[in-house]
Amino acid sequence: MRVAELLVKCLEHEGVEYIFGVPGEENIDFMDALLGSSIEFIVTRHETSAAFMAGTYGRLTGKPGVCLATLGPGATNLLTGVANANMDLSPLIAITGQAGLERQHKISHQYYDLVSIYDPVTKWNTQIKTGEIIPEVVRKAVQVATQSKPGATHIDLPEDIAAMEMEMEATPLEIIDHSLSEAGDQVVQQAVKMIEQAKHPLILAGNGITRGNASDSLKALIEKANIPVVHTFMGKGAISWKNTLSLLTAGLGGKDYITCGFNHSDLILAIGFDIAEYPPKNWNPEAATPILHIDTEEAETDANYPVTLNVLGDINTNLKKLTDQLSSIERNNDWVANVRKDALDEYEHFKEDESFPIKPQKIVSDLRSVLNDEDIVISDVGAHKMWMARMYHTAQPNTCLISNGLASMGVAVPGAIAAKMVHPHRHVVAVCGDGSFQMTGAELETAKRLNLPIIVLLWRDEGYGLIEWHQQKKFKRSSHIKFGNPDFIQLAKAYGFEAIQIQKGGELIPALEKAISLNKPVFIDCPVDYRENMKLTEKLDDIHC
């Protein structure tokens, strides 16, 4: 048995379904070993896209998505997507081909020390220098990628090692499930006391609630203790937006309606909160509000995140323990209704807007009205991400996927491909700006080749709208953010997509309904009026709490 064959055998044993990637010279033994394997290799058009697909797969399944690249530029292309998954806490295993050991001591064609390069963006990574360690390496890569706070791991496979014949028999290691501890009774009692003594507690719900399958437990807690909930971008759907205790989503850098909620609070329960996506300085600027930190691990040290008590361990179990010991509490939550009204009125106000180009609020409203609660929207990074985060309201976890750790542009189309593979019976929409789409748009070919009926909804403004928004806020002028575009309709058709051009207000809902009914890959080109960006900034600046 070749070393590459043992690696594939161990990956099969771990339940790997797909490997996303681009083959190369230095991984040809691994590619050959995949022939006849139960693992399906998904050829992508760029290595970054492969890692985006693997990261999305990991986020939706809780199992590590696997991606592959060759050495040198293949591995450095893969790096961005690996870093994105790691900062978003999505389980992922990256495999890179590498130069043979005999030339790693000198400057050599396409050779860089990938273990050193990948070290800052992974939880663990190693190079295989002998075949006998592969069962341990694969088991550890999976274990580290999925334990506690998930993330990325990396395996570097030199080409001479991959081709080597094993001198002794080696078999995969036994799979041992993770077990998280739970908070002790004394800690739970302290937490209960803090919650019961607080007059205006507020829950900040992060993506850890979804990772821990704790949405039902969160709902039981808030209903017994009568505590309102605000979601981070990545925590959307922890409770339904229709729940009267939902304060929807927070995460903009400046003020928003929920700012009043944070200012009003005397205790913040940060549950499954990942500090990288929403800096505490934005919502606790004076560090005056104490934090009850409920998560699998202690929080990153931050001057604006004054943790009074850690409740650590399995989030679902600990929320149940808290709920069991809490008394039913009546609170005056009139302010919650006021915040909800302000946010939802903004959503409702644009439902009948017929202007063109179409306002962001109207695009979000139309999209929400067409999709079912269980359908999945993946937002790319750009100005549209801010509108989707604020106004695309969700009833279930993992139905609006927003990357808000590294927040790399180009994630939506590859992510939609992976989401459709995981959930083939749900509608999946990639929401892209014309800037972010062009970074990974070649993956339209991948979607078509795999016959995946995803919908790509393009918000077109001929520029980097989010950067212009920031420039206008700071300098009241923009600098070098405009670019040209191809004919997106012809481009999409060339890739085999059905293509729809939005030419006036009122056409988007029929276009989305048609896209769903066709059950095939569809591209919708929708011009957007981003003059609304600065109007929103001015409106939010007038909020007084």
Alpha-carbon span 461 to 438, nearest angstrom: 13
Query: Same domain for 140 and 239?
Result: no
Q: Does 545 score more than 70 pLDDT?
A: no
Cβ-proximal residues to 517 (8 Å cutoff; 6+ apart), any chain: none
Three-class SS of 239-261: CCCCCCCEEEECCCCCCCCCHHH
CATH code at position 273: 3.40.50.1220
One domain, residues 20 and 153: yes
- Tell me if 169 is assigned to some domain: no
Which amino acid does the sequence have at 311?
A: V
175 occurs within a structural domain: no
Domain assignment present for 343: no
519: phi > 0 → left, psi -120 to 50 → alpha, else beta; which?
A: left
The answer to whether residue 220 sits within a structural domain is yes
Residues 10-47 have pLDDT tens digits of 999 999 999 999 999 999 999 999 999 999 999 999 99
257 and 214 share one domain: yes
pLDDT greater than 80 at residue 252: no
Higher pLDDT, 345 or 138: 138
Q: Select from 121, 116, 146, 65 the least CA-distant residue to 405.
A: 121
441 belongs to a structural domain = yes
pLDDT tens sequence across 386-411: 999 999 999 999 999 999 999 999 99
Angle made by CA atoms 208, 213, 214, in degrees to the nearest 5: 75
CA proximity to 535, closest of 406, 381, 387: 387
Tokens 């605000």 -> residue: 230
- Same domain assignment for residues 408 and 497: yes
Q: What is the DSSP string of 250-301?
A: ---SS--TTHHHHHH-SEEEEES--GGGS-GGGT-TTS-S-EEEEESSPPPP
The two tokens of residue 237 are 């759907």
CA distances from 102 to 5, 62, 114, 129, 300 (A): 22, 38, 16, 11, 42
**Is-contact 180 118, C-beta < 8 A?**
no
Choose one of 314, 337, 360: the last residue of a domain: 337
What gap in Å lies between CA 258 and CA 100, rounded to an integer?
56
Beta bridge partners of 377: 400, 429
Give the neighbor-by-neighbor strand order of the sheet with 65-69.
Answer: 40-43, 18-21, 65-69, 92-98, 152-158, 124-127
Domain boundary, last residue among 163, 196, 228 = 163
- Cβ atoms within 10 Å, residue 129: 12
Query: How many CB atoms are closer than 10 A to CB 116?
Result: 9
Please give the pLDDT value at position 153: 98
Does 253 have pLDDT greater than 80?
A: no
Burial class from Cβ neighbours inside 10 Å (0-12, 13-18, 19+) for residue 325 reads middle
Residue 56 has pLDDT above 90, yes or no: yes
Q: Tell me the average pLDDT across 486-492.
A: 98
Query: 315 and 379 share a domain?
Result: no
Q: CA-to-CA distance for 37 and 396, rounded, in angstroms? A: 35
* Contact between 48 and 55 (Cβ < 8 Å): no
The per-residue pLDDT for range 492-528, each reduced to its tens digit, is 999 999 999 999 999 999 999 999 999 999 999 999 9
Domain end, chosen from 290, 308, 337, is at: 337
Number of domains, the chain: 3
Same domain, 358 and 312: no
Q: Give the span between the Cα atoms of 527 and 514, in whole angstroms.
A: 18
Q: Measuring CA to CA, which residue among 391, 101, 358 is closest to residue 231?
A: 391
The single-letter code of the amino acid at 462 is E
The average pLDDT across 155-169 equals 91
Q: Are residues 130 and 226 in the same domain?
A: no
Which CATH number covers residue 146? 3.40.50.970
The answer to whether residue 307 is domain-embedded is yes
Across the range 467-490, mean pLDDT stands at 95
Q: Which residue has the higher pLDDT, 504 or 255?
A: 504
Comparing 148-157, 229-238, 244-253, 486-495, the range with the smallest average pLDDT is 244-253
**Which pLDDT belongs to residue 187?**
96
Q: Tell me which residue range forms the domain holding 105.
A: 3-163
Contact 301, 319 (CB under 8 A): no
Q: Is residue 213 situated within a structural domain?
A: yes
Q: What percent of the chain has pLDDT over 70?
A: 100
| Co-location of 314 and 387 in the same domain | no
As a whole number of angstroms, the distance between CA 542 and CA 538 comes to 7
Spacing of C-alpha 93 from chain mean position: 16
**Mean pLDDT, the chain, whole residue set:** 94
pLDDT band at 343 (very low <50, low <70, confident <90, very high): confident
**Helix, strand, or coil here: 108?**
coil
Share in percent of the chain as helix, strand, coil (round to 5): 45, 15, 40
Whether 119 and 38 map to the same domain: the answer is: yes
Q: Are 259 and 405 found together in one domain? A: no
Determine the Cα–Cα distance for residues 6 and 128; give it in Å rounded to an integer: 12
150 and 209 co-located in one domain: no
CA distance 24 to 135: 24
DSSP 8-state secondary structure symbol assigned to residue 64: P
Is 344 domain-assigned?
no
d(CA 292, CA 204): 10
Are 357 and 385 in the same domain?
Answer: yes
